[in-house]
């Protein structure tokens, strides 16, 4: 019997269980399309789940599974993803009896995985569990599935807990180290090793001869599986190039956006918002610039709620951001939902109500020209006053960059 969830989804049949959650085949009761519904087993950190899920829902790339919804039902938390039709690589390997697949086919598949990884890394997202069962191959090629909200929840506050799948997990993660794009490169290389040999690599194993595998592919595998992350290719695109794969044209939805006619360069505005989010591990960042009447207009943003906040205007002094513009001092708000200055109606209108925020003034020539705002730390912790100085340093550089590229309003001759 189908189990209804959140008034839109229903569970149809189980698909599988893992250490961090169970996955079921489901159905969208509105459109009728099939979906995958993941129930998270570790629900100790509700805010972190909500923050990370919002960001994952912004990702849109043909080689990345779409996250459609995230919701709670009692004590359980669920993630709804598109159901990618096809065969995962683990199933393919099992069916082949451990013989592996031809090297050219394996390289082409991993090149598509690298395309997905390059996109998500650009969005400050680390997959952390790249392995054959998380790559589904269908008519349009490889799709990377099962992103790490559950794993993020499980290791919150547990720095020494290894998250991932043994032998496919980068050794620094097994030792409790921080994930990075290079740890996903290791997962891609380990998956390629399994595809061409029928088995995952062993940590620190002596380099082996691989029959019917070109020498440059063996060299790339050796580099990607280096125990020291600094000796691996620095990015998924670099690993793909070592494999001899031509980088695919840039595709996918960018997480940074700006208004149609900004007073500053859109490229600089979006770069500042993206960099701020990455440096401070924020789920969202935005730039509000001063209007001639003293109010503010959000001209660029990155991450969750970006499309909705861009173009929104605030009257002079309105909201926490307006308070920063008028007072000229940074504000770190641990619980912005409980702060009387919080523009709750504006946030609700964007569909993104943050838990915590940090706002710092953008100063140019002694004058406040706007505000840089960071929303929600992705580790679920609140922003504190100690975070403000670093953000002010970034804001100082950003203000200079924005001041140098101001777009002059053309004068109409009359």
- Tell me the mean pLDDT per 10 residues along the chain, length 414: 84 76 89 91 70 91 95 84 94 90 96 97 92 94 82 43 74 90 97 95 83 94 96 97 90 94 88 95 96 95 94 95 96 95 88 93 94 94 96 95 63 42
In a shared domain, residues 292 and 194 = no
In a shared domain, residues 285 and 212 = no
Domain boundary residue, one of 242, 266, 295? 242
What is the number of domains present in the chain?
Answer: 3
414 is a domain residue: no
In a shared domain, residues 307 and 397 = yes
In a shared domain, residues 33 and 98 = no
Name the token pair of 313: 């205007």
Residue 139 is part of which domain span? 87-242
339 is a domain residue: yes
pLDDT tens track for 381-407: 999 999 999 999 999 999 999 887 554
In a shared domain, residues 13 and 139 = no
Of 88, 129, 146, 152, which residue is the catalytic one?
Answer: 129
410 is a domain residue: no
412 is a domain residue: no
Domain boundary residue, one of 82, 113, 135? 82
63 is a domain residue: yes
Domain boundary residue, one of 82, 103, 122? 82
Active site residue 28: no
| pLDDT given at position 354 | 93
96 is a domain residue: yes
Give the CATH number of the domain where residue 47 resides.
3.30.200.20
CA distances from 202 to 110, 176, 208, 222, 227 (A): 19, 18, 11, 12, 11
In a shared domain, residues 147 and 204 = yes
116 is a domain residue: yes
In a shared domain, residues 111 and 160 = yes
Cα 118 from Cα 235, distance rounded (Å): 7
In a shared domain, residues 14 and 118 = no
In a shared domain, residues 74 and 92 = no
In a shared domain, residues 126 and 141 = yes
382 is a domain residue: yes
In a shared domain, residues 223 and 322 = no
Give the CATH number of the domain where residue 361 resides.
3.30.450.40
For strands 282-290 and 367-377, give the pairing.
antiparallel
Give the CATH number of the domain where residue 138 resides.
1.10.510.10
In a shared domain, residues 295 and 281 = yes
């Amino acid at each position: 019997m189908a189990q209804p969830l959140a008034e839109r989804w229903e569970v149809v049949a189980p698909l599988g269980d893992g250490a961090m959650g169970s996955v079921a085949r489901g159905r969208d009761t509105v459109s009728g399309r099939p979906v995958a519904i993941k129930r998270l087993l570790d629900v100790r950190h509700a805010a972190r789940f909500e923050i990370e899920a919002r960001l994952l829902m912004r990702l849109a790339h043909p080689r990345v599974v779409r996250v459609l919804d995230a919701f709670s039902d009692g004590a359980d938390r669920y993630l709804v993803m598109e159901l990618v039709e096809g065969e995962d690589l683990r199933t393919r390997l099992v069916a082949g009896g451990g013989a592996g697949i031809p090297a050219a086919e394996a390289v082409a598949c991993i090149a598509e995985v690298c395309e997905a990884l390059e996109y998500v890394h650009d969005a400050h997202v680390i997959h952390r569990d790249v392995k054959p069962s998380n790559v589904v191959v269908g008519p349009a090629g490889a799709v990377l599935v099962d992103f790490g909200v559950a794993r993020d929840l499980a290791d919150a506050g547990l720095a020494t807990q290894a998250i991932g799948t043994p032998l496919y997990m980068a050794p620094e993660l097994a030792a409790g180290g921080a994930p990075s794009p290079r740890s996903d490169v290791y997962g891609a290389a380990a998956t390629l090793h399994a595809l061409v040999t029928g088995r995952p690599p062993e940590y620190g194993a002596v380099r082996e001869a691989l029959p019917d595998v070109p020498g440059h592919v063996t060299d790339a595998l050796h580099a990607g599986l280096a125990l020291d992350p600094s000796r691996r290719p620095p990015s998924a695109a670099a690993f793909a190039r070592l494999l001899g794969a031509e980088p695919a044209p840039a595709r996918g939805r960018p997480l940074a956006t700006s208004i149609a006619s900004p007073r500053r360069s859109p490229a600089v505005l979006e770069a500042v918002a993206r960099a701020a989010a990455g440096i401070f591990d924020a789920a969202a960042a935005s730039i509000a610039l001063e209007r001639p009447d003293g109010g503010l207009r959000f001209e660029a943003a990155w991450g969750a709620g970006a499309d909705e906040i861009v173009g929104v205007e605030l009257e002079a002094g309105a909201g926490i951001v307006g308070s920063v513009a008028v007072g000229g001092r940074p504000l770190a708000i641990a619980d912005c939902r409980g702060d009387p200055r919080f523009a709750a109606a504006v946030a609700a209108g964007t569909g993104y109500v943050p838990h915590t925020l940090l706002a710092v003034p953008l100063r140019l020539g002694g004058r406040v020209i706007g505000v840089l705002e960071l929303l929600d730390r992705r580790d679920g912790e609140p922003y504190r006053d100690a975070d403000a100085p670093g953000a002010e340093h970034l804001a100082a550089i950003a203000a200079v960059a924005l001041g140098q590229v101001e777009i002059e309003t053309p004068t109409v001759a009359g």
